[in-house]
Structure 1
């Protein structure tokens, strides 16, 4: 019996030391990257400190290196892209790749997404379409609206061409985008032009749940809160264990979480249900 306890204690100590070692490696890596950035920025101590904080908040060493490169080479990036990299660690690689890939045309296939169960999750900064122009920017920074409508259209119509790039082009050609972003009309008259049934509904918990229960996705316009600091579109894609599945085109983390109605209701500005 004592021998078993001794073995368990030894295993616990080993696991503890492994965790400590991993933490030390991460701290050393991040500090090294931060020091490199400071050297890159010379005597600009305020800029160096800002970048150090950004590097420390990024999730891994690779992201730290890529963020360091972006901040050193700001002339290669738009202001919106730099801000995207600073506030969303998931999109750092997309921003980092922008100078090299912005002019590349990719044959987009969403066949696998059509075959998935439920509403597919598309990220607006997916490199398949994220660098394409939209409004006064690109889909990666401005295209949450067409990306959400693409998720819904793909789910309901089961076609393989209404990807976010196609919807963004449709939105621009049809006048559904302004200097301030995507117009709400894209979710109403725009969606109906695509063959979808779109109905504006009130912010009512019973209406939301009853539609999600029968498989009708809902696009929401949201204000500042968990999903944005300004304005944004998200998809309420279904239910899981009584909670709402949110497809956030700007965050896989938000999309993995399951949300209660009370958590999101205060952020919702408008809702459209689709069939």
Structure 2
């Protein structure tokens, strides 16, 4: 998703990683306080199904020749477009067909959360796009919440670090859907060999991003739905 450049950048983002406290008032890159509605209803733990079919979504790749070289600030979609590309797949699957360019244009033109002081898009920028297209989100605070969301049939947007999907020190956005005996299906916007495969929920949770930009709304994973 992004790699911090230059010297260490200090961010004045207010966030929470507690399951008890939900981040609602946040400072954006301009230092402006913005209210983010983090869905009031809680994820249900009552679903004991061992198999839940994934939601069918289109497959987009950030390096697609149609848009990969389009530049936004300090980088382009091919290098740092995993967030808008992932969200374009979710929005197209749940609301209407949109391209990664449309999502990237919205985030870049209306916020400073994409390719400004860092490469990539923060979770604040992701939430802006989610709500703009009429969807809601629930920040996931624990592995149990992640499993509950998947068992409830929700799509999960996630930011992950080094491991299954990232080789190095950057972070990356993926989409999760479905549940099958401890595994979930991941859609990767950057790797044809890794996308649309089933992975251990434990492994994905253990590789969640710890970067501030990815946790700015309270965590790196969010259930997304109508």
Pick the TM interval, shorter chain: 0.5 to 0.7
Gapped regions of structure 1 (runs ≥ 5): 1-116
Q: Does 1:187 align with 2:126?
A: yes
- 1:250 aligns to what? 190
Describe the shift of the 1:193–1:207 C-alpha distance in structure 2 as closer, same or farther (beyond 3 A): same
Tell me by how many angstroms 1:187 deviates.
2.3
Kept in 2, the 8 Å contact 1:135–1:179? The answer is no
Kept in 1, the 8 Å contact 2:62–2:82? The answer is yes
Considering only CA atoms, is the larger Rg found in Structure 1 or Structure 2?
Answer: 1
Q: Does 1:218 align with 2:156?
A: yes
Q: Does 1:125 align with 2:63?
A: yes
Of structures 1 and 2, the one with the larger relative CO (CA 8 A, separation 6+) is: 2
Q: Does 1:262 align with 2:202?
A: yes
- 2:222 aligns to what? 272
Matched length: 156
Paired with 1:226 and 1:167, the residues of 2 have a C-alpha distance of 26
Paired with 2:164 and 2:103, the residues of 1 have a C-alpha distance of 25
Tell me by how many angstroms 1:239 deviates.
2.9
Structure 1 range deviating more: 236-245 or 224-233: 236-245
Kept in 1, the 8 Å contact 2:159–2:171? The answer is yes
Describe the shift of the 1:171–1:210 C-alpha distance in structure 2 as closer, same or farther (beyond 3 A): same
- Deviations for 1:18-77, whole angstroms, at most 9, x for unmatched residues? xxxxxxxxxxxxxxxxxxxxxxxxxxxxxxxxxxxxxxxxxxxxxxxxxxxxxxxxxxxx
- Deviations for 1:211-253, whole angstroms, at most 9, x for unmatched residues? 2233311111111222122111111122356521011111121
Paired with 1:144 and 1:213, the residues of 2 have a C-alpha distance of 25
Q: In proportion to residue count, which structure has more helix?
A: 1
- 2:171 aligns to what? 231
TM, length-normalised to structure 2: 0.64
Kept in 1, the 8 Å contact 2:182–2:201? The answer is no
Paired with 1:156 and 1:172, the residues of 2 have a C-alpha distance of 22
- 2:135 aligns to what? 196
Local SS of the residue matching 1:226: coil
Q: In proportion to residue count, which structure has more strand?
A: 2
Paired with 2:66 and 2:78, the residues of 1 have a C-alpha distance of 10
Kept in 2, the 8 Å contact 1:219–1:236? The answer is yes
TM, length-normalised to structure 1: 0.53
- 1:20 aligns to what? none
In the TM superposition, 1:22-37 aligns within 5 A as none
- 2:76 aligns to what? 138
Local SS of the residue matching 1:264: helix
